[in-house]
């Protein structure tokens, strides 16, 4: 029904819209469904009611977080050496030295950034082997001939500091940084520690034994710390040594292909070990490289013609001579010794230290592994003095002999004084070093064909 005003021919707009809506059943159904769904969201059980607009956060990222679990704070502390210095110090603690499964200190230093260990040589920041200065408690332990550093037993080390960049005055100077080693002090009570690593004779016959002993002495409050280490290995080469093993009381003793032995003795006061320290470091290395070309053991026939090839037989035949070639190349036997004495005075405002060190190194390379006289002739011959062919490997001689030695004496004094205000320090030092090196090397010496213009003279001596 449409209502009309008296005297008006037009209907009201609202009533007109209602009339049109009433005439459309589909529109009535859509409107009803809309209001029913809205009411169900607000009051239906099991559904979350819409929160008022003023309680919703403007940004979900700024919503207050709820603490699920609170962890205790962790503090990490490290020594801050010098804020004005460009040096970078990598500290290797004694705990790391004892916990990592390593055989040498270089294996642990290779884990530091910028350090590479390759072929038993340490390279710091791209430097060559020997360009890293190595010191033990402030005194250098590098022999001056090849800049090779003495090794220290791992159980005897208290820690190590690898310095890269421009080192401070307290460190040794090296192109590729410096490595400062410090040994452990004697303990107040007797203690023993030992390690043994072995492959059980199932591989390359590898054995590594290390031991450390601490004992206080009933003399002037001193204590003694001793440590030793031995590493023996036949590497991956065949075990064909001829006279390298000896049986004593049913046990086999002797050299293997690679042999390294180290020992250290330290004497210092138990209460204040900085006041006085005396150390003795010894080491020996024996290298016996194997070569399959030097393993013939039998009989050989030498033809009258020196240019003819000799005949070899594993059995004895008429006219053949007994022949036994060396089963190894030249043997290198190396002995090292370092003695250090340090005395310090401790004061409230500083301290002073006076140190004296002696470094001795001797090495010999020969087929027998021992020293030889100057008239010893190194040549490859077949009982024929006029044969000068140096490439006759069958006879088994090795044309190389080398002796080397070095001695280094070092005197060093250091003073460290704090200022009265306590905000700075004055450091000074003085060092004196004496080095002596010697080397004797025969690369080739034989008696053979000498050359004279117009003729050939047998028996001349050629030496390089």
pLDDT for 340 equals 95
Q: 296 and 325 in contact (C-beta within 8 Å)?
A: yes
Q: Select 189-290+327-371+401-442's CATH number: 2.60.40.10, 3.10.20.30, 2.40.170.20, 3.40.50.10470.
A: 2.40.170.20
Strand pairing partners for 434?
Answer: 409
Q: 116 and 164 in contact (C-beta within 8 Å)?
A: no
Q: In sequence order, what DSSP letters do the residues of 18-86 get, joined into one string? A: HHHHHT-HHHHHHHHHHHHHHHHHHH-TTSPPPPPGGGS-S-GGGSPP-----PPP---------TT--
φ, ψ of residue 38 in degrees (nearest 5): -65, -40
**Angstrom distance (rounded) from CA 227 to CA 152:** 9
pLDDT for 331 equals 85
Strand pairing partners for 403?
Answer: 364, 440
Q: 167 and 178 in contact (C-beta within 8 Å)?
A: yes
Task: Provide the 8-state DSSP code for 97.
Answer: H
pLDDT for 79 equals 63
Residue 15 structure tokens: 């009533």
Q: 176 and 131 in contact (C-beta within 8 Å)?
A: yes
Q: 298 and 255 in contact (C-beta within 8 Å)?
A: no
Pick from 284, 267, 285: which is nearest to 276 by CA?
267
**Angstrom distance (rounded) from CA 151 to CA 138:** 15
Do the strands 251-254 and 88-93 form a parallel or antiparallel pair, or are they unpaired?
Answer: unpaired
**CB neighbour class for 398 (10 Å; exposed up to 12, middle 13-18, buried from 19):** buried
Strand pairing partners for 192?
Answer: 213
Quote the pTM value. 0.68
Segment-wise mean pLDDT, segments of 10 residues, the chain, 464 residues: 43 41 57 63 48 53 72 77 70 85 85 81 79 88 90 92 74 78 91 90 86 90 94 72 62 80 94 90 89 66 73 86 68 94 84 92 86 59 45 50 92 83 75 92 51 39 34
Q: 400 and 386 in contact (C-beta within 8 Å)?
A: no
Strand pairing partners for 140?
Answer: 135
pLDDT for 100 equals 86
Could you tell me the residue ranges of all domains in the chain? 189-290+327-371+401-442
**Angstrom distance (rounded) from CA 179 to CA 138:** 10
Q: In sequence order, what DSSP letters do the residues of 313-335 get, joined into one string? A: ESS--TT-EEEE--SSS-EEEEE
pLDDT for 393 equals 43
């Amino acid at each position: 029904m449409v209502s009309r005003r008296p005297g008006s021919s037009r209907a009201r707009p609202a009533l007109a819209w209602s009339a049109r809506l009433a005439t459309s059943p589909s529109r009535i159904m859509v409107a009803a469904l809309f209001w029913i769904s809205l009411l169900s969201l607000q009051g239906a059980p099991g559904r979350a009611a819409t929160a008022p607009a003023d309680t919703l956060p403007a940004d979900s990222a700024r919503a207050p977080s709820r603490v699920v679990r609170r962890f205790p704070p962790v503090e990490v502390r490290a020594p801050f050496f010098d804020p004005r210095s460009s040096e970078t110090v990598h500290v290797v603690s004694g705990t790391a030295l004892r916990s990592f499964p390593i055989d040498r200190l270089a294996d642990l230093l290779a884990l530091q950034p910028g350090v590479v260990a390759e072929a038993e040589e340490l390279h710091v920041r791209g430097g060559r082997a020997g360009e890293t200065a190595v010191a033990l408690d402030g005194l250098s332990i590098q022999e001056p001939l090849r800049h090779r550093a003495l090794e220290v037993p791992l159980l005897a080390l208290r820690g190590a500091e690898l310095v890269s960049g421009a080192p401070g005055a307290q460190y040794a100077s090296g192109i590729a940084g410096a490595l400062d080693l410090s040994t452990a002090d004697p303990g107040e009570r007797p203690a023993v520690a030992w390690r043994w690593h072995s492959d059980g004779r199932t591989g390359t016959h590898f054995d590594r034994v290390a031991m450390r002993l601490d004992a206080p002495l009933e003399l002037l409050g001193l204590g003694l710390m001793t440590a030793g280490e031995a590493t023996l290995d036949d590497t991956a080469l065949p075990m064909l040594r001829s006279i390298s093993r000896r049986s004593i009381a049913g046990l086999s003793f002797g050299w293997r292909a690679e042999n390294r032995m180290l020992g250290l003795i330290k004497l210092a006061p138990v209460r204040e070990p900085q006041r006085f320290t005396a150390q003795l470091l010894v080491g020996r290395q024996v290298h016996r490289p194997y070569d399959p070309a030097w393993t013939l053991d039998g009989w050989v026939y030498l033809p009258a013609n020196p240019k003819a090839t000799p005949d070899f037989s594993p059995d004895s035949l008429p006219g053949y001579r007994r022949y036994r070639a060396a089963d190894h190349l030249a043997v290198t036997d190396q002995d090292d010794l370092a003695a250090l004495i340090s005395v310090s005075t401790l004061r409230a405002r500083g301290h002073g230290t006076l140190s004296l060190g002696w470094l001795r190194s001797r090495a010999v390379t020969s087929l027998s592994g021992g020293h030889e006289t100057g008239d010893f002739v190194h040549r490859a011959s077949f009982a024929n003095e006029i044969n000068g062919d140096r490439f006759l490997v069958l006879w088994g001689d090795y044309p190389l002999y080398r002796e080397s030695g070095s001695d280094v004496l070092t005197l060093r004094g250091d003073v460290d004084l704090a200022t009265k205000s306590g905000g700075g320090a004055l450091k000074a030092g003085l060092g004196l070093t004496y080095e002596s090196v010697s080397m004797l090397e025969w690369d080739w010496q034989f008696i053979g064909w000498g050359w004279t213009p117009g003729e050939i003279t047998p028996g001349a001596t050629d030496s390089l």
